[in-house]
């Protein structure tokens, strides 16, 4: 027998799983690194016995990819698994891996490929409603035109497109070179085209309105005439391609009974070609089952493959194979950007986009097949991520790329979390939604709303799909939320009392600066009493703009440190991005303080191989003020730039600094620097950003505290958030009589003591 080429894991690759873990999901999700550069068929053996005895070993055959799960649950206990290539048993098996299934593991089997679509309706529509559900909806509308807020959808969405000319096919970029304004305008036009078809088709069918149906048909046929090799091709502008494919799928599915055979053939063929473009990219070229970290490719499973293949099921064999791949990916691998804690490494902005599409896809899968992917642990918990890391009353207080940077959490975040409330019954999720809608009852027309969603359609769909949901009582939110899967820690004092809310967020992430993350390990933001104090600086111009690449991705724009003027890796090489990782080493909640320790040593390795250690320790004392300890050790004497960013100028006074906002203030104090303070300065310059990108944008201020040079140094900082005009004195007492240094912080009759490494003293 030939030896199995068992490929080693890399920073980019999928991992061998399970491998020694106690699993909280039953059955297990098996993944392994593919055995070659092309996809081969595998077989997998599973047993409760390490020698895999005959009759007590389960075997899965002809697996087309390197991931799978079972269609049945296992008894809790210890198991062993191995895999091999299928080729007539010519290969040896991989090494044996062990795992345990917990008694409390969630039961999430996936029906086999043979049985997966047995409950699906062979007729049309299939996306959202089927024929029986349409008849029920029509009956309800006869009694009440506002059923599921249909009347609002009709007035705000349908009437907006009725008798309007269909959008023109997008134009190519000048000289075929991508420019951000045209890229954005093109995908917004495609979104409008999608909504045009969907709104008229849904209203026409539900109301049995032939005029609307004919208008929807005309629009669908116009879109089907667009050049699939032109400016809306996947490889030219994927955001356009996703919307065109979905628009064709929805129109084809809902208008199927009103199309002639010739029209069906034209739309079906165009839809197949566009779906194939996406499927070939994600499965054959990008291979997201091997290399996980392609944000758009993973999203296209939800936005394209699932709805398009369900619309085409029964017409093309490839559609069934692609649909199997997508459902299995969501059931086994999803998500590459987080884990069982529900975090999202790309941040709240991209959580919003990804969850909107994946939940729509899962609703479609559930409606058509009965498979409920929401039962997976990630989806049961992921609503906590925006709830605690992007609180409803905050702005400029999160990490990673965000198109709505500077705005409060928007309507789509709220719509997402409401749907998760419908899934889980969480009263806190429902509260988040209601607070957003209370603050902004009208949907803004910013590009990240208008170019992406039809909220009136989404609202109608939710109210139908989750009409029987029961929302539980609100729970007391935790003071500290640690998302271990992505390395984020949030502190929320008085989360639901906006006048007293203090929000502190820090990260040191195993994902490094990959994708929409930045070179910002050991960073933090601080929002208090209704105002941003310490911010994620910069503006969202667009991905790959000079603001994005030269400022926001770079360490200099974040609230962490430079060492010898150098920061963490923030360029575009994914291998280096993933190696530039941090980690949260400890989170402890004690009686009088919260303690967080994080380590960002690896994140500086590309530019600072001489760095031996960089650790940041954070104390939130008596839910009142923060003490921060930065410890740096290098092979050669080095200096530190300790950085902060604010929307308003810092007031500097010796080794103190102040931020004054309308409702909140911050007092900062440089308590101790073992190598001495070489200088404190501030600037309002966005270094490296093209001048034309800054037109019309407000200044921001960047504080730089420079240290002296030393092999090992410690910097201790005190941060006191206060309401405007509030007196909150924190007295600091130093004791250096012994080998170590002690600092005592007195505030409101309570004393907090901190021991500092005396070995750093000069």
Q: Which CATH architecture has domain 509-760?
A: Distorted Sandwich (2.70)
User: Which run of H or E residues covers position 159?
Assistant: helix 159-161
CA distances from 264 to 214, 258, 437 (A): 14, 9, 41
Number of Cβ within a 10 Å radius of residue 178:
12
Residue with tokens 């760095």: 611
Average pLDDT, integer, range 154-167:
95
Nearest-angstrom CA–CA distance, 259 and 254: 10
Tokens in use for 746? 């007195």
Q: Is the pLDDT of residue 194 over 80?
A: yes
**Which 3 state secondary structure label does DSSP give 145?**
coil
Same fold for the pair 22-107 and 509-760 = no
Indicate yes or no: pTM above 0.85: yes
Nearest-angstrom CA–CA distance, 399 and 382: 17
- Per residue in 712-743, pLDDT (tens digit) is 999 999 999 999 999 999 999 999 887 789 99
Nearest to 512 by CA among 522, 498, 497: 522
Average pLDDT, integer, range 218-244:
98
Q: Is the pLDDT of residue 760 over 90?
A: no
Nearest-angstrom CA–CA distance, 50 and 414: 48
The backbone torsions φ and ψ at residue 584, rounded to the nearest 5 degrees and listed phi first, read -90, 120
Nearest-angstrom CA–CA distance, 536 and 552: 8
CA distances from 437 to 46, 153, 440, 467, 500 (A): 50, 17, 5, 19, 21
Residue with tokens 């080794």: 655
Burial label, 235 (beta-carbon count in 10 A; 0-12, 13-18, 19+):
exposed
Nearest to 669 by CA among 747, 758, 760, 613: 747
Q: Is the pLDDT of residue 63 over 50?
A: yes
Tell me how far apart the terminal alpha carbons of the chain are, to the nearest angstrom.
Answer: 66
Whether 284 contacts 321, CB under 8 Å: no
Whether 172 contacts 472, CB under 8 Å: no
- Per residue in 175-190, pLDDT (tens digit) is 999 999 999 999 999 9
Q: Give the ranges where 451-598 is alpha helix by DSSP (H).
A: 455-465, 546, 574-579
Q: Is the pLDDT of residue 761 over 60?
A: no
Strands, E assignment, 34-184 = 42-47, 57-63, 67-68, 77-85, 97-107
Question: DSSP label at 291?
Answer: B
Classified by CATH at the fold level, domain 337-507 comes out as Glycosyltransferase (1.50.10)
Paired sense of beta strands 656-660 and 42-47, if any: unpaired
Q: If pLDDT is split at 50, 70 and 90, which confidence band does 667 have? A: very high
Q: Is the pLDDT of residue 652 over 70?
A: yes
Average pLDDT, integer, range 441-468:
94
Lowest mean pLDDT among 40-44, 440-444, 554-558, 698-702: 440-444
Tokens in use for 262? 């010739």
User: Which run of H or E residues covers position 745?
Assistant: strand 741-747
CA distances from 489 to 319, 455, 524, 721 (A): 42, 31, 9, 18
| CA diameter of the chain | 92
**Which 3 state secondary structure label does DSSP give 716?**
strand
- State the pLDDT at residue 446: 87
Whether 131 contacts 257, CB under 8 Å: no
CA distances from 160 to 23, 152, 165 (A): 50, 12, 11
The C-alpha torsion from 105 through 107 and 113 to 119, rounded to 10°, is -170
Exposure string over 57-89, b if 16+ CB within 10 A, otherwise e = beebeebbbbbbbbeeebeeeebbbbbbbbeee
Burial label, 753 (beta-carbon count in 10 A; 0-12, 13-18, 19+):
exposed
- State the pLDDT at residue 591: 94
The β-bridge partners of 373 are: none
- Per residue in 20-33, pLDDT (tens digit) is 999 999 999 999 99
The β-bridge partners of 331 are: none
Nearest-angstrom CA–CA distance, 191 and 695: 28
User: Which run of H or E residues covers position 203?
Assistant: helix 180-207
Q: If pLDDT is split at 50, 70 and 90, which confidence band does 706 have? A: very high
Paired sense of beta strands 97-107 and 22-26, if any: parallel
Average pLDDT, integer, range 421-447:
95
- State the pLDDT at residue 445: 85
Half-sphere exposure of 697 (CA within 13 A, CB side): 22
Q: If pLDDT is split at 50, 70 and 90, which confidence band does 762 have? A: very low
- State the pLDDT at residue 684: 97
Residue with tokens 């899968």: 365
Burial label, 610 (beta-carbon count in 10 A; 0-12, 13-18, 19+):
middle
Average pLDDT, integer, range 520-549:
96
Nearest-angstrom CA–CA distance, 283 and 290: 9
The β-bridge partners of 615 are: 599, 631
CA distances from 96 to 83, 92, 755 (A): 8, 12, 48
Nearest-angstrom CA–CA distance, 186 and 454: 17
C-alpha 585: how far from its chain's center?
22
Tokens in use for 520? 């910002």
Average pLDDT, integer, range 445-449:
88
**Which 3 state secondary structure label does DSSP give 451?**
coil
- State the pLDDT at residue 1: 79
- State the pLDDT at residue 608: 96
C-alpha 227: how far from its chain's center?
32
Residue with tokens 């089997």: 109
Classified by CATH at the fold level, domain 22-107 comes out as Immunoglobulin-like (2.60.40)
The C-alpha torsion from 673 through 678 and 679 to 685, rounded to 10°, is -100
Share of the chain above pLDDT 90, in %: 94
Looking at every residue in the chain, the average pLDDT score rounds to 96
Tokens in use for 13? 């690759």
Residue with tokens 């989360």: 495
Burial label, 421 (beta-carbon count in 10 A; 0-12, 13-18, 19+):
buried
Nearest to 347 by CA among 339, 357, 356, 337: 337
Sequence spans of domains, the chain? 22-107, 337-507, 509-760
Burial label, 750 (beta-carbon count in 10 A; 0-12, 13-18, 19+):
exposed
CA angle 173, 178, 184 (to 5 degrees): 85
């Amino acid at each position: 027998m030939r030896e199995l080429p068992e490929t080693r894991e890399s920073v980019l690759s999928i991992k061998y799983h399970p491998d020694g873990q106690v699993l909280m999901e039953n059955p297990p999700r098996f993944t392994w690194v593919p055995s070659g550069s092309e996809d081969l068929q595998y077989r997998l053996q599973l047993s409760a016995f390490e020698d895999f005895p005959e009759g007590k070993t389960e075997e899965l055959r002809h697996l087309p990819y390197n991931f799978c799960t079972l269609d049945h649950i296992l008894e809790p206990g210890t198991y062993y698994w191995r895999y091999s290539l299928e080729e007539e048993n010519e290969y040896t098996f991989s090494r044996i891996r062990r795992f345990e299934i917990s008694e409390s593991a969630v039961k999430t089997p996936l029906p086999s490929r043979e049985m997966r679509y047995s409950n699906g309706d062979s007729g049309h529509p299939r996306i959202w409603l089927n024929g029986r559900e349409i008849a029920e909806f029509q009956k309800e509308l006869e009694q009440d035109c506002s059923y599921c807020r249909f009347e609002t959808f009709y007035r705000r969405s349908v009437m907006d497109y009725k008798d309007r000319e269909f959008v023109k096919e997008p134009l190519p970029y000048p000289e075929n070179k991508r420019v951000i304004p045209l890229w954005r305008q093109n995908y917004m036009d495609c979104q409008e085209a999608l909504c045009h078809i969907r709104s008229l088709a849904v209203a026409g069918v539900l109301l049995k309105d032939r005029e609307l149906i004919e208008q929807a048909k005309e629009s669908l046929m116009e879109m089907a005439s667009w050049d699939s090799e032109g400016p809306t091709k996947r490889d030219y502008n994927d955001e356009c391609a996703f919307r065109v494919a979905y628009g064709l799928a929805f129109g084809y599915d809902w208008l199927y009974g009103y199309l002639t055979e010739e029209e069906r053939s034209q739309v079906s063929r165009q839809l197949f070609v566009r779906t194939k473009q996406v499927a070939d990219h994600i499965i054959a070229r990008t291979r997201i089952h091997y290399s996980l970290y392609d944000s758009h490719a993973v999203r296209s499973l939800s936005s394209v493959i699932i709805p398009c293949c369900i619309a085409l099921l029964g017409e093309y064999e490839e559609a069934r194979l692609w649909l199997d791949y997508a459902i299995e990916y969501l059931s086994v691998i999803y998500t590459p950007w987080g884990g069982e804690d529900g975090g999202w490494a790309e941040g709240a902005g991209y959580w919003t986009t990804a969850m909107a599409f994946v939940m729509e896809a899962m609703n479609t899968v559930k409606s058509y097949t009965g498979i409920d992917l929401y039962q997976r642990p990630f989806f049961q918990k992921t609503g906590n991520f925006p709830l605690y890391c992007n609180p409803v009353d905050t702005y400029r207080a999160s990490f990673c790329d965000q198109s709505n940077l500077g705005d409060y959490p928007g309507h789509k975040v709220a719509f997402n979390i409401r749907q998760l409330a419908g899934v889980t019954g969480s009263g806190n999720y429902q509260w988040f939604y209601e607070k957003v809608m209370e603050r902004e009852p009208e949907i803004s027309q910013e590009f990240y709303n208008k170019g992406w969603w039809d909220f009136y359609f989404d609202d109608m769909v939710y109210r139908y799909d989750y009409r029987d949901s029961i929302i539980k009582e609100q729970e007391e939110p935790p003071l500290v939320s640690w998302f271990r899967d992505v390395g984020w820690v949030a502190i929320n004092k008085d989360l639901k009392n906006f006048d007293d809310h203090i929000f502190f967020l820090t990260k040191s992430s195993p994902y490094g600066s990959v994708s929409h993350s930045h070179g910002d390990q050991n960073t933090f933001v601080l929002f208090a009493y209704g105002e941003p104090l310490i911010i994620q600086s910069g503006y969202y111009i667009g991905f790959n703009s000079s603001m994005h690449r030269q400022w926001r991705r770079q360490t200099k724009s974040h609230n962490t440190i430079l060492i010898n003027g150098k920061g963490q890796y923030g360029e575009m090489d994914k291998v280096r991005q993933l190696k530039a990782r941090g980690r949260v080493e400890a989170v402890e909640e004690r009686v009088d303080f919260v303690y967080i320790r994080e380590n960002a040593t690896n994140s500086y390795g590309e530019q600072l191989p001489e760095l031996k250690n960089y650790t940041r320790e954070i104390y939130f004392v008596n839910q009142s003020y923060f003490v921060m300890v930065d410890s740096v050790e290098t092979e050669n004497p080095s200096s530190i730039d300790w950085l902060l960013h604010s929307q308003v100028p810092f007031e500097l006074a010796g080794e103190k600094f102040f931020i004054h906002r309308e409702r909140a203030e911050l007092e900062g104090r440089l308590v101790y620097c073992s190598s001495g303070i070489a200088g404190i300065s501030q600037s309002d310059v966005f270094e490296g950003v093209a001048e034309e990108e800054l037109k019309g944008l407000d200044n921001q201020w960047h504080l730089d505290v420079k240290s002296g040079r030393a092999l090992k140094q410690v910097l201790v900082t005190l941060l006191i958030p206060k309401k405007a005009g509030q007196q909150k004195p924190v007295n600091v007492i130093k004791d250096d009589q012994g080998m170590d240094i002690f600092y005592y912080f007195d505030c409101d009759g309570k004393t907090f003591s901190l021991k500092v490494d005396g070995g750093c003293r000069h």
